Every structure is written in C-alpha cells, then in structure tokens.
Amino acid sequence: MFNNLKPILKTPSVVDELSGKFFYKKSVKNLSWFKAGGVLEYLYIPKNETDLSILLNELIPSIELTIFGKLSNTLIRDGGLSGLSILMPSDFKKLTHKEQNILNVGSGALDKEVAKKSIDFQIGGLEFLSGIPGTIGGGIFMNAGCYGSEFKDIVLDVNFLNRNGKKIKKKAKEIDFKYRESNIPKDLIITSVNLMGFKKNKEEIKRKICEISKKRISSQPQGCPTGGSTFKNYKNYKAWELISKLGVSNLRCGGAMISDLHNNFMINTGKAKASDFENLGEIIIDKVQSQFGIKLEWEIQILGKNGKN
C-alpha cells in the first residue's frame, strides 16, 4: 500500500522509514461526524512526531496538504479531497501535568478526555472542553468554544510542524483567535499545546461538567450524525434563533435534515450525501438573507470537489 505514496515523495525509498498508517482513496464516511462525503486521495495517520516530520520533509512541494482531527466540523464534498490528508489521533494524545495549572496536551487528544483529566489535576477553566466532540488541534484551529469559554482563554502556546517537518512554537498572543476561527495557516500542523487554567476544587469542576452535559442533552440532538452548529452566530443574533423563526424544523434536502431540537444542526437521516448538507445549508442562508437581511456564514469547514461518490 505504501507504494501508492511514492508519487508524492521526493525520495520514494523513504517509504521504508515510515511507520504510520497509509490509505489510498479512503472514504470519509466512517471518519467524518456527518457520515457522508467522498474520498481522501492520500491519507496518512502518523505514528508519532518524528514519523510525521520524515514524511513532511519528503513531500513534493506541489502536493496539497490538509490536517484533520476528528472531522467533527468538516464536510468533505462528494467528489473527494485531492492531495495528502493527515489525521492526528495515533500517538498525539499525550497529556502531561507540567506545573500547577498547566497541562501539555497532544493535538490528537479528545477535548472530552482533557476535560476529564482536569478533574484529577484540579484545574478549572477547561470544563467547556467536555461539550466539544473534536480534538485539541481542531479546537485550537477553530477557536472552538461553548457556554462563554473558548480555546483563546486557555491556550498558552502552541507547537507546530511546518510543511517541511520543522518544529515551530508560537505564543498565544502571536495567534489571532477570533470567534470560531484563527489565523493559523492551513499547512501548519498543530502537534501539542500548553493549556492553562486555574486552581479549582474537584467537586466544582465535576459539577460544571455535569451541568454542561445536561444542557447539551436537552438542547442538541444525540446519537445521530451531524457536524454540530452549521453557521456562526451573527453579531448579537444567535444563528439558531434566526433559523427557528423561519419555521424550517425537519426541512430536508435529500438525506440531510434540519434538526427540530436545534435548528442550527443538520443531521444525516441515513444516506445523506455531502451535497445534501451543502444544498440544505445554502437554502437556509438564502431564507435568512431574504427574511432578515443577514448573510449567515458557515461554521462547518467545507472542503473538496463536487461530484458523485
């Protein structure tokens, strides 16, 4: 299988040094939270940072590079995504308690796992991570957040590998974190991060995590394929409120449907294509624009080519 990697490497024999997992034309249906979408042309799941660095150093310059965590905020169009995709779970989950209120966390760690660990170390301020289903890397890139907290509040500094496999470190203040976005360049790979909270009693942290979980269960669809919030809020307007005024609960486009529990969530009713989600989203954008004069912006990252799958 590694032979398929050779065309995108400067020195094809380097494949012998690689120890991660490689896939050619891998469908995202079982990788993405939407359970829909096309194929990733080349997919590599690195074993560790050294392995990833060897691969990056050998990549031909023309190959497009895309990094993923859990694909909980990403829709890959049905025609698939060209170039090399890197998925970051594997060995990037390490979590170390550095100093009193600082955790060093691998970018592949799940936000939920980090929230759980914050109980053991009695570090407050990380509870909101329990409500986000992605990885730490995806969360930093997106400046993900909920219930009044976001990554921007807890990131101290971030370690990256650049496209050539070279290590780079940035302090939080060197990164422009905005509402559900950052200015991190697409070809910088987040490998680990120092997160800082504050001293907090274990029981209080547990209580807050429990509160978040209850809020989620009562307000968001559970157990069905979705990408979470589809659109960003617009200034002081909540996207879900605007959409709910349209009366579009259960509106469908192919297999994609607007959740009646949370109108800013689209769910896969079974066999949705990526195009069903994109078309449904565009219908909502048009309706909100014509009714309220507001152009909603996608929070979901949509990548790849249109086409059949």
Ligand X SMILES: Cc1cc2nc3c(=O)[nH]c(=O)nc-3n(C[C@H](O)[C@H](O)[C@H](O)COP(=O)(O)OP(=O)(O)OC[C@H]3O[C@@H](n4cnc5c(N)ncnc54)[C@H](O)[C@@H]3O)c2cc1C
Q: Which of 149, 163, 180, 252 is catalytic?
A: 180
Least Cβ distance, residue 189 to ligand X (angstroms) = 5
Percent of residues in the chain assigned helix, strand, coil, to nearest 5: 30, 30, 40
Least Cβ distance, residue 114 to ligand X (angstroms) = 12
**Cβ proximity to ligand X, 12 vs 181, nearer residue:** 181
**Cβ proximity to ligand X, 259 vs 275, nearer residue:** 259
Contact call for residues 257 and 266 (beta carbons, < 8 A):
yes
Neighbours of 292 (CB within 10 A): 14
- Could you tell me which of 212, 213, 162, 153 has the C-alpha nearest to residue 190? 162
- Could you tell me which of 81, 113, 95, 93 has the C-alpha nearest to residue 45? 93
- Could you tell me which of 257, 263, 183 has the C-alpha nearest to residue 225? 257
Contact call for residues 52 and 88 (beta carbons, < 8 A):
no
Q: Which residues are at the interface with ligand X (CB under 6 A)?
A: 33, 66-74, 88, 107, 131-135, 137-139, 141-142, 144-146, 180, 189-190, 226-229, 301
Q: Examine the residue annotation and report whether 62 is marked as an active-site residue of this protein.
A: no
**Cβ proximity to ligand X, 38 vs 134, nearer residue:** 134
Q: Examine the residue annotation and report whether 180 is marked as an active-site residue of this protein.
A: yes
Least Cβ distance, residue 142 to ligand X (angstroms) = 4
Cα–Cα dist 120/217, whole Å: 24
End-to-end CA distance of the chain: 22
Amino acid symbol at 193: V
**Cβ proximity to ligand X, 107 vs 118, nearer residue:** 107
Least Cβ distance, residue 195 to ligand X (angstroms) = 14
**Cβ proximity to ligand X, 149 vs 244, nearer residue:** 149
Q: How far is CA 39 from CA 44, 55, 83, 238, 242, in A?
A: 13, 21, 11, 33, 34
Amino acid symbol at 186: K
Least Cβ distance, residue 11 to ligand X (angstroms) = 25
Q: Which of 32, 107, 229, 259 is catalytic?
A: 229
Kindly list the catalytic residues: 180, 229, 299
